[in-house]
Chains A and B, each alone.
Chain A
Amino acid sequence: MDIQLRKGLLEYCVLAILRDRDSYGYQMIRDISECIEISESTLYPILRRLESAGKVTSYNTEYNNRIRKYFHLTDDGRQMLSDFKSDREQMIKVLDFISKGEKNDEESIL
């Protein structure tokens, strides 16, 4: 998938995962991997970007004598996520439009 498109979608995946409970890096990679391939080198910059934009906050907790960084969804982030849901119809429309063009291409080739 295109890098820019992927980056955008992954941002929403991260927000979606944090909707119900706070999570940390390793857990988030495992959860998101269920639907889309993600590496930690992709996730970390996204987390930091979301954090500096105020969509998520982070806090450190001690776990097994080391520090684990948990991420928490802010109201701002929650808003962004629900805005995306209303964009969904628009997105499906765009996807349909793109694949319709594809079908026409195939027909013209045949």
Chain B
Amino acid sequence: MTKKAFCKELNRALKKVKRKERAGCINQYEELISDLMENGMSEEEAVNSLGNVKDIADDLMQNMDQDKFVKRDKFLIALVTLDVILMIINIFHYLVNTLLDSIFFSESEISSIGVIGGADGPTSIFVAAKITSPSSVDAMVVAMVCAMVVTVIYVIVKKRKK
């Protein structure tokens, strides 16, 4: 294994460790491998002399304090998941609507259908409005925006606390 491959693998094995701490450890290993190579080992030998990456990572983590580990915020994960789901639904809605519109009728054509199929006078306005404003989509958009705002506020408050 090369030095680069070793560092990459170590980085992966230490994914539960906070970024800063992880980077510090990897830099130290990089330096150590270079030192070993300058003392007569080949790159391969130097990396092999360190042993199994997983064992190294376990050993490192065993010697670390608890506050060096990444804490997963379940509430934040749930919020972001909700955001993504709502966004997908909205995009899907939008795509279906524009697709149907372009295949069949434009908005003004739909409202004129409302007039022809419905009635004239005040009733035609009522019918046309019913057809052209898809209220369920609006509700979803509002929900998405709300969820996103809550997420952003939550993240900001959390950063402030630190």
Within 8 A of B (CB), among A1-17: 3, 7
Number of CB contacts from chain A to chain B under 8 A: 52
Residues of chain B with a CB closer than 8 A to A39's CB: 59
Within 8 A of B (CB), among A33-56: 39-42, 44-49
Pick from B29, B50, B63: contact of A42, CB below 8 A.
B63
The answer for the CA separation of A24 and B56 in the assembled complex, in Å, is 19
- Contact (A66, B34) CB under 8 Å given A41-B63, A45-B60, A49-B65: yes
Residues of chain A with a CB closer than 8 A to B35's CB: 24-26
**Is the CB of B31 closer than 8 A to any CB of chain A?**
yes
The answer on a CB contact under 8 Å between A69 and B28 is yes
The answer on a CB contact under 8 Å between A40 and B63 is no
Residues of chain B with a CB closer than 8 A to A69's CB: 27-28, 31
* Chain A interface residue count, Cβ-Cβ cutoff 8 angstroms: 21
The answer for the CA separation of A47 and B8 in the assembled complex, in Å, is 22
The answer for the CA separation of A46 and B25 in the assembled complex, in Å, is 11
Main secondary structure of the interface of A (DSSP, over half): helix
- For this complex, 19 residue pairs linking A to B, each with C-beta atoms less than 8 Å apart, are A24-B35, A25-B31, A25-B32, A25-B35, A26-B32, A26-B35, A39-B59, A40-B32, A40-B50, A41-B56, A41-B60, A41-B63, A42-B59, A42-B63, A44-B63, A45-B65, A45-B68, A69-B28, A69-B31
Task: Identify the A interface with B (CB < 8 A).
Answer: 3, 7, 24-26, 29, 39-42, 44-49, 64, 66-69
